[in-house]
Structures are given as structure tokens and as C-alpha cells.
Amino acid sequence: MQPVMILARLAWLRLWRGRTKWVTALLAILPPCFAALLMTEKDDAVEVWQITLFFALRAAVLLAVAVHLASSVGDELDSKTYTYLWSRPMRRSAVLLGKLLAIAPTVFAAFALSLTATWLVVFQDQAGANLEWLLRGLAAELAVVIAGASIALATSALVPKRPLAFVLGYMMFLERLEFVPFLQQISIAYHASAISAAHPPSFVVGTATSGVIGILVLSTFWLGLAIWRVENAEYALPDG
């Protein structure tokens, strides 16, 4: 566990001093702005909250996680910095888990602030009476961050070249299976909708419990795949 913590510190330092944090900041600003705009069109606060959360979880949160984690392995390979890490007494997967430990709470915190701001914008003086919407929204956000991070890490391990394109492709096509019966079980967004209860009335979802179980299964599968791949793959290319 100790190498994971050390690598989490490394990932955190790089995040803090790097540029990608601004992508998260920019994406986190979108939900309250989007909600404020919707408020000018619609009178029903609950409907505005549901629409905003529906898109925030599918687009902004997933994208933020992907931007930070999809190139976890590719970055190390491109800059060859993996040579410093994997020649040390540590499991290779510690690199992935360290990044997960640094990035996931950061993205969650950024969007927790964002969703809280959105909730305040939407419900205004009725916010206290609608606290459950916020709590379920935050729970769904946490689920999306964890499952999205697992998928991004698996992609980084499986497809180190152009992983972001693959993750975006996944988000645009496979995630849309949320609308297809049975196949919807492999969609993060489908389970997030069940947890948040923020979805169009015509969209049939499971219970919050089934949503949590679904997210746990998906996260375990993808994270397990990421760990298996990075422990067993040989990424090095022929050189001198």
C-alpha cells in the first residue's frame, strides 16, 4: 500500500502543477451555468435539476475523469518515466492505483462543489427542503467518478496509444446502451440515473440499490482488467 500512497502524492503534485486541472475546473463550471440558463426557460425546479444532473453526469464528470486518467499508462510510456517506477520494489499496478487515489477524490470534490452550486441555483430558498436531490446527486456523482475512473484506467492499460479517443468513443457509443433493455446494465449512466433519480420520466431505471450494485460490479470488472493488463503486459519497445 505504501507505494500506492507515494505514487498518489506524485500524481497529485503533477496534477496541481500541470494544466489539466483547468479542464476539470472549466467542466465543473458548466452545470450551474447550464442550470441558470434552464431556469430562464422552465419553472419546474425539479425538472431543471434532473435535466442538468442527467447531462452533467454523462458528459462533464465522465469527461473530466477520462481527461485525467485515460493516459495514465500512455504518459509514462511516452515520457519513458515508467522506467523509474517499475524498476523499484513495487507492483506495476501501484502506478494506476496511485493515480486513481489522487485523481478520483479531486474530480469528485470539484464536481461536488459544482453540483452543490447547481442545487443552490436551482432550488434557491427551497434548497433545504430538497436536500435529498443533492445527496442522491452526489452519490451518483461518486459512482460515476469511480466507475468512469476504472474504465479510463482499463483503457489506459489496454490501449496506451490514443486512449482518450477510445474512452470518448466508449462514452459516446457504449454508454448509450443505457437506453437498450438488458444491455443497459453495462452503462455507468444507467446505474447513475438509478442512484440519482434524475432522469426523464419515460426512462425506466432500477432502484438505487441495484444502481450501487451495478456500479460496484462495473468498477470491479474494469479496475481488475486494468490491473491484470498492466501487471502482465510488456509495453517496452525494442531499443539499443
Q: Would you say 33 or 85 has its CB closer to other proteins?
A: 85
Least distance in angstroms from the C-beta of 150 to other proteins: 24
Is residue 20 close enough to count as binding other proteins by CB under 8 A? no
- Of residues 1, 40, 43, 89, which one binds other proteins by CB under 8 A? 89
Least distance in angstroms from the C-beta of 224 to other proteins: 20
Helix (H) or strand (E) holding 30: helix 20-39
Q: What cell was used for 42?
A: 422552465
Q: Would you say 89 or 181 has its CB closer to other proteins?
A: 89
**Quick one: angle between helices 93-123 and 131-158, nearest 10?**
150
CA–CA dist 188, 167 (Å, integer): 13
Is residue 23 close enough to count as binding other proteins by CB under 8 A? no
Is residue 240 close enough to count as binding other proteins by CB under 8 A? yes
Burial (0-12, 13-18, 19+ Cβ within 10 Å), 216: middle
- Of residues 43, 125, 132, 239, which one binds other proteins by CB under 8 A? 239
Count of residues of this chain found to bind other proteins when the rule CB under 8 A is applied = 29
- Of residues 7, 48, 112, 134, which one binds other proteins by CB under 8 A? 7
Is residue 176 close enough to count as binding other proteins by CB under 8 A? no
Is residue 206 close enough to count as binding other proteins by CB under 8 A? no
Q: Would you say 13 or 183 has its CB closer to other proteins?
A: 13
CA–CA dist 240, 230 (Å, integer): 24
Q: Which long-range contacts (CB under 8 A, 24 or more apart) does 220-224 make?
A: 220/150, 221/150, 222/147, 222/150, 222/151, 222/153, 222/154, 223/100, 223/150, 223/153, 223/154
Least distance in angstroms from the C-beta of 74 to other proteins: 13
Contact window for other proteins (CB under 8 A) among 7-15, 173-181, 182-190, 219-227: 7-15
Q: Output the CA–CA distances (angstroms, integers) from residue 63 to 54, 98, 238, 239, in the order listed.
A: 14, 20, 34, 35
Is residue 17 close enough to count as binding other proteins by CB under 8 A? yes
Residues near other proteins, by CB under 8 A? 2-3, 6-7, 9-10, 13-14, 17-18, 79-91, 234, 236-240
